[in-house]
Amino acid sequence: MDEFTRLYLARRPMLARLVRRILRYHPPEEVEDVLQDVWLKGSQAFAKVEVQYFKAWIDRTAINLAINRIRRFKREPQPTLIKEERLPRQLIDRAPLSDELAMRREARESLAALSALVPKQAEAVHLVFLEGYTYTEAAAMLGVVEGTVKSNVHKAISKLRESLTAPKAA
């Protein structure tokens, strides 16, 4: 088995999770299209990119292609069933935040909650949920037993849940 095939087999599940997370509101076919583009570009660039940097290169390529897919989707005209009408300014001012603004606010709150975690808990959450490693792999990377990683993740999730669901001060 050549080096590219080994890297492909090792990175394929993690990249699939990463792209699925980014394109969570898009059809599964879009995810498959992006993954196919990622690996096509990866196979073409494999000889040019050093092996130790290939993981970072392929991850960044996947993120960029998924974001480009979202941008292209936003640029394409979407079919509307109801003709849009002009609303009075008073109604627009009282309208709830758009989905994008709400998502950005939630992302800021989530990042603030993550940064408030104890470093070992934050590392465990990052490896398991953001990088996609198993508990066993994360334990090996952190130099602890698997139960410690599970415990740190459990504590971190509890703290995150508590801080993100607490009523906001007005």
| Domains in the chain: boundaries | 3-75, 98-165
Residues 46/54, Cβ–Cβ less than 8 Å: yes
CATH topology of domain 3-75: Rna Polymerase Sigma Factor; Chain: A (1.10.1740)
Distance CA 28, CA 21 (A): 11
Instruction: Give residue 98's pLDDT.
Output: 60
- Could you tell me which CATH number the domain at 98-165 has? 1.10.10.10
At 101-146, the pLDDT tens digits run: 777 777 777 777 777 888 888 888 888 887 788 899 889 888 899 9
Number of helices (H), then strands (E), belonging to the chain: the values are 8, 0
Of 71, 69, 82, 85, give the one whose Cα is nearest residue 33.
69
Residue-level pLDDT at 81? 46
Reading the block at residue 53, the tokens are 């940097």
The whole-model pTM stands at 0.45
